[in-house]
C-alpha cells in the first residue's frame, strides 16, 4: 500500500512539474498580450465572440434558447450554436462569465488551449514509453504551432481541433502499441469533438480509420471492431442533442453553408523563408515533417518497427492531402460543394504533425548511439527556441494592431460610427462584454435559411448573402425595440400605416412567430429568411420563439448527466486496463 502511495505521489509531482513547464512556456508566448492587455481580433473573432456571448448571457440570465440567438448576432433570432459546437459554446460562455472581459477571456482560454494541447502530445509520448525530457520538448514544440495558437492570434476556432485531436489519436497509438484501448475514453473524446466543432470530429474519425486498420490482425479483429462500435455508440449518446438539432434544422430548411474557398489557395505550402501561418508550415515544422518522412523512407524498415513504418505512411498521405501538391484545383472543379464544406485543406495538417512528433520521439528514444542522440536533442532544442520566438513574435504583431490605428485585423468587421479606437480598446477590457458586441458588426451569413433559392458555389457571390444580411438585419434595426423574453425575443415598433414591413429577424421552419398575439403559421420571408409582416397602424409586437418539445429537453438533460458519468467510467476502465497489464 505504501509503495502504491509513493508511486501516486511521484506521478502527481511529475504532473505538477509538467504543468508548470507548459504554463511557463505559454506565458512566455502570450507575454506581450498579457502585459499590454490586448485583444487579438482576426477574421473569425467577432463570429465566435457572438456565439460565446450568446451562451454566456443565457447562463447569466438563466434564460435558455438552444436554437435561436436572443442576445448575440444583433438579436436576430438566427440559428448558429445549435449547428456549431453547442456544448463548447456553453463551456466558453461559463469562462466568459467568470473572466468578465474579452481580454481576460482570450488570455485565459488561449492559455488553457496551449496547455491542454501540449498535455495531449505528452500523454501519447509517455504511453509509448518516450523519456520524460523528450516528451516535454516535443509537447512544447506542438504548443508553438500556428493551429494551436490561432485562437489567440485570430480567434480561429480550429485551435480547439488542434487541442482535441491528440486525445483522439491517443487511442490509435494505444491500440497499436498496447493491443487494447479504452473504448469509453475514445467515445467520450469523440463526443467532445462533436460538441466542439463538427469538422474536428470528422477529421478525427477519418484519421482513426487507417490507424485502426493497421492494428487489425486475425486474433484481435472481433475485439477491436466490437469496441469501436461501443465507442461510436457512446459518442452518439453523448452528442444526441447536436444530432437532433442538426437533422431537425437541415431536414426542414434550405440552409446556406459557409462561403466557398479556393481549395488550392487554402492548402499547405512549404515556404521556409516565410513564418508559419494557416497555410504555411514554416521552417521548423517543414524540416521536421519532411526530414523525418525522408529519413524513414530512405532508411527503410530496418531502422524502425513495422508499426512505426505504417503510421509514417499514414502521416505522409495526410501531409500530401493537406498540401498544394494534392490536385486541389481539380477537386475545385469536380466536387464544387467541398469548397464550402472543407474550405481550407491546411486544417488537415494537424494529423501528420501529431503523428510525426510522436514517431520522432519514439525514434530518438531508440537511438543507440549516444552522440547522435545528444545531437538530435540539440537540434530539437534549437527548433523549440525558434518556434517559441516565432509564436511570441506573431502575438506581438497582432498586439501591435490592437494598439495601433486599426485595432481589429479583419476587413469584414466594421466598427460602428462614432466609436473611437481608444473607446473600442476600453470596451474589450471592460467588465461588460456586451460593450464590444454592440460596438461592431459583421454580416457573416452562415446558416441562414434561403427558402427555395438554390445557393451554391457557382452563384454564392451573385446571391450576395453578406450584403443582404447587412441591409436587412444590421442596417435595419433603427426604430425597433428589443426585449428578451423566456426562451425568445419580442420586437416592437410603431407603424404609421398598414403596409408590409421587413423586420430584422430571421425565421426558420421551426420558428414560432406571433404578431400582436396572433400566431402566423406560414410567415413571409426574404431570400435570407428575414421576416415580413403586415402590421396594424400604431404599436406592434412580434414575439419570436423556437419550441423544442419535451423530447429535446430530455436529450439535453441526459447529455449533461451522462458526461460526468462516462468520464468516471473512462477513468475506471483505464485503471482496469493498467491493472490487467500488470
**pLDDT tens digits, 502-533:** 999 999 999 999 999 999 999 999 999 999 99
pLDDT of residue 2: 62
Task: Tell whether 22 and 119 lie within a shared domain.
Answer: yes
Q: Read off the pLDDT of each residue in 141-164 and give the average, rounded to a whole number.
A: 92
515's enclosing H/E stretch is: strand 512-515
Distance between alpha carbon 302 and the CA centroid of its chain, in Å? 39
Please give the backbone phi and psi of residue 15, each rounded to the nearest 5 degrees, phi first. -65, -40
233 in a structural domain: yes
Contact 508, 525 (CB under 8 A): no
Q: In percent, how much of the chain has pLDDT > 90?
A: 80
Return the closest-CA partner of residue 45 out of 506, 440, 349: 440
Q: 560 and 528 in one domain?
A: no
| Rounded-to-integer distance, Cα 509 and Cα 531, Å | 12
pLDDT one-digit tens code per residue, 332-351: 999 999 999 899 999 999 99
Same domain, 75 and 195: no
What is the average per-residue pLDDT within 166-178? 95
**Residue pLDDT, tens place only, 471-492:** 999 999 999 999 999 999 999 9
DSSP 537: S
Q: Are residues 20 and 104 in the same domain?
A: yes
Mind spelling out the 3-state secondary structure of 163-201?
HHHHHHHHHHHHHHHCCCCCHHHHHHHHHHHHHHCHHHH
Are residues 151 and 7 both part of a single domain?
yes
Task: Specify the CATH number for the domain of residue 498.
Answer: 2.60.40
> Which residue in 113, 140, 204 sits closest to 167, CA to CA?
204
Are the beta carbons of 490 and 482 closer than 8 angstroms?
A: yes
The rounded percent of the chain whose pLDDT value lies above 70 is 99
* Spatial contact of 145 and 151, defined as CB atoms under 8 Å apart: no
Q: How far apart are CA 549 and CA 77, in angstroms?
A: 18
Confidence at residue 582, expressed as pLDDT on a 0 to 100 scale:
58
- pLDDT in the model for residue 218: 77
Task: Taking residues 65-94, report their average pLDDT.
Answer: 96
Confidence at 115, pLDDT banded by 50, 70, 90 = very high
Q: What is the average pLDDT across 77-104?
A: 96
Fill in the DSSP letter of residue 268.
B
- Can you give the residue range of the structural domain that contains 239? 158-255+550-582
Same domain, 480 and 419: no
The tens digit of pLDDT for each residue in 14-38 reads 999 999 999 999 999 999 999 999 9
Q: How high does pLDDT run on average in the chain?
A: 93
- Residue 518: exposure state from Cβ atoms within 10 A (0-12, 13-18, ≥19): exposed
1 in a structural domain: yes
Residue 301 maps to a domain: no
CA distance 149 to 160: 10
* pLDDT bucket at 220, cuts 50 / 70 / 90: confident
Per DSSP, the chain holds a count of helices (H) and strands (E) of 22, 10
Task: Answer yes or no: do 162 and 231 share one domain.
Answer: yes
Q: Which residue has the cell 442538426?
A: 246
Q: Are residues 246 and 173 in the same domain?
A: yes
Q: What number of CA atoms fall less than 13 Å from residue 159's CA on the CB side?
A: 28
Is residue 315 assigned to a domain?
no
Does 499 lie in the same domain as 419? no
pTM of the predicted model as reported, rounded to 2 decimal places = 0.95
Q: Is the pLDDT of residue 367 over 90?
A: no
Is the domain of 2 the same as that of 126? yes
Cβ neighbours of residue 514 closer than 8 Å, sequence gap 6 or more: 520, 542, 543, 544
* DSSP code of residue 475: G
132-157 in b/e form (b: 16+ CB < 10 A) is eebbbbbbbbbbbbbbbbbbbbbbbb
- Residue in 116, 205, 195 with CA at minimum distance from that of residue 163: 116
Same domain membership, residue 101 and residue 59: yes
Q: How many domains does the chain have?
A: 3
Please say if the pLDDT value at position 273 is more than 80.
no
**Distance, C-alpha 527 to centroid of its chain:** 29
User: Which residue is listed with cell 473600442?
Assistant: 424
Residue 310 lies in a domain: no
- Of 189, 19, 196, 21, nearest in space to 116 by CA: 19
| Confidence at residue 42, expressed as pLDDT on a 0 to 100 scale | 84
Q: How far apart are CA 168 and CA 187, in angstroms?
A: 9
Q: What are phi and psi of 455, to 5 degrees?
A: -105, 115
Q: Does the residue 206 lie in any domain?
A: yes
User: Region 129-154: what's the mean pLDDT?
Assistant: 94
Grid cell digits, residue 480: 425597433
pLDDT band, very low/low/confident/very high, at 303 (cuts 50, 70, 90): confident
Q: Is residue 581's pLDDT more than 70?
A: no
Neighbours of 275 (CB within 10 A): 15
Same domain membership, residue 251 and residue 168: yes
Cell 463570429 -> residue: 47
Question: Is 494 within a domain?
Answer: yes
Residue 221 in domain: yes
Residue predicted with more confidence, 127 or 454: 127
Instruction: Taking residues 381-393, report their average pLDDT.
Output: 95
Amino acid at each position: 500500500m505504501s509503495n502504491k502511495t509513493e508511486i501516486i505521489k511521484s506521478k502527481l509531482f511529475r504532473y505538477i512539474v509538467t504543468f508548470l513547464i507548459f504554463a511557463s512556456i505559454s506565458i512566455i508566448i502570450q507575454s506581450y498580450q498579457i502585459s499590454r492587455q490586448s485583444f487579438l481580433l482576426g477574421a473569425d473573432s467577432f463570429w465566435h465572440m457572438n456565439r460565446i456571448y450568446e451562451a454566456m448571457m443565457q447562463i447569466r440570465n438563466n434564460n435558455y434558447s438552444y436554437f435561436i440567438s436572443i442576445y448575440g448576432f444583433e438579436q436576430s433570432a438566427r440559428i448558429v450554436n445549435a449547428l456549431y459546437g453547442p456544448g463548447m459554446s456553453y463551456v466558453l460562455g461559463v469562462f466568459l462569465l467568470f473572466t468578465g472581459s474579452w481580454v481576460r477571456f482570450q488570455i485565459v482560454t488561449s492559455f488553457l488551449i496551449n496547455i491542454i494541447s501540449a498535455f495531449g502530445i505528452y500523454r501519447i509520448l509517455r504511453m509509448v514509453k518516450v523519456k520524460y525530457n523528450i516528451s516535454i520538448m516535443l509537447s512544447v514544440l506542438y504548443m508553438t504551432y500556428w493551429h494551436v495558437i490561432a485562437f489567440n492570434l485570430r480567434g480561429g476556432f480550429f485551435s480547439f481541433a488542434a487541442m482535441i485531436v491528440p486525445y483522439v489519436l491517443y487511442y490509435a497509438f494505444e491500440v497499436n502499441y498496447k493491443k487494447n484501448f479504452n473504448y469509453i475514453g475514445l467515445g467520450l473524446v469523440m463526443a467532445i469533438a462533436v460538441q466542439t466543432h463538427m469538422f474536428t470530429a470528422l477529421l478525427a474519425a477519418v484519421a482513426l480509420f487507417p490507424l485502426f486498420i493497421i492494428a487489425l490482425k486475425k486474433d484481435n479483429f472481433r475485439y477491436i471492431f466490437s469496441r469501436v462500435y461501443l465507442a461510436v455508440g457512446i459518442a452518439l449518446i453523448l452528442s444526441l442533442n447536436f444530432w437532433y438539432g442538426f437533422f431537425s434544422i437541415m431536414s426542414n430548411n434550405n440552409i446556406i453553408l459557409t462561403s466557398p474557398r479556393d481549395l488550392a489557395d487554402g492548402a499547405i505550402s512549404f515556404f521556409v523563408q516565410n513564418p508559419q501561418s494557416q497555410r504555411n508550415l514554416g521552417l521548423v515544422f517543414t524540416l521536421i515533417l519532411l526530414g523525418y518522412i525522408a529519413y524513414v523512407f530512405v532508411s527503410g524498415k530496418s531502422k524502425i518497427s513495422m508499426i512505426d513504418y505504417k503510421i509514417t505512411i499514414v502521416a505522409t498521405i495526410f501531409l500530401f492531402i493537406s498540401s498544394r501538391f494534392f490536385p486541389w484545383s481539380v477537386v475545385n472543379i469536380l466536387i464544387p460543394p467541398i469548397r464550402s464544406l472543407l474550405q481550407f485543406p491546411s486544417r488537415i495538417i494537424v494529423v501528420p504533425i501529431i503523428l510525426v512528433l510522436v514517431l520522432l520521439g519514439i525514434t530518438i528514444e531508440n537511438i543507440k548511439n549516444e552522440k547522435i542522440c545528444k545531437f538530435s536533442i540539440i537540434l530539437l532544442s534549437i527548433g523549440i527556441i525558434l518556434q517559441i520566438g516565432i509564436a511570441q513574435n506573431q502575438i506581438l504583431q497582432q498586439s501591435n494592431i490592437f494598439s495601433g490605428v486599426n485595432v481589429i485585423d479583419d476587413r469584414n468587421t466594421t466598427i460602428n460610427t462614432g466609436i473611437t479606437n481608444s473607446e473600442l480598446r476600453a470596451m474589450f477590457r471592460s467588465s461588460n462584454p456586451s460593450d464590444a458586441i454592440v460596438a461592431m458588426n459583421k454580416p457573416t451569413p452562415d446558416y441562414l435559411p434561403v427558402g427555395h433559392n438554390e445557393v451554391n458555389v457557382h452563384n454564392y457571390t451573385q446571391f450576395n448573402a453578406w450584403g443582404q444580411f447587412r441591409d436587412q438585419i444590421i442596417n435595419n434595426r433603427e426604430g425597433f425595440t428589443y426585449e428578451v423574453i423566456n426562451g425568445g425575443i419580442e420586437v416592437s415598433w410603431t407603424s404609421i400605416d398598414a403596409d408590409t414591413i421587413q423586420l430584422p429577424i430571421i425565421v426558420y421552419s421551426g420558428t414560432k412567430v406571433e404578431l400582436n398575439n396572433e400566431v402566423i403559421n406560414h410567415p413571409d420571408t426574404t431570400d435570407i429568411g428575414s421576416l415580413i409582416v403586415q402590421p396594424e397602424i400604431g404599436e406592434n409586437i412580434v414575439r419570436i420563439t423556437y419550441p423544442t418539445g419535451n423530447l429535446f429537453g430530455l436529450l439535453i438533460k441526459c447529455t449533461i448527466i451522462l458526461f460526468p458519468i462516462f468520464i468516471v467510467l473512462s477513468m475506471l476502465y483505464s485503471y482496469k486496463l493498467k491493472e490487467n497489464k500488470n
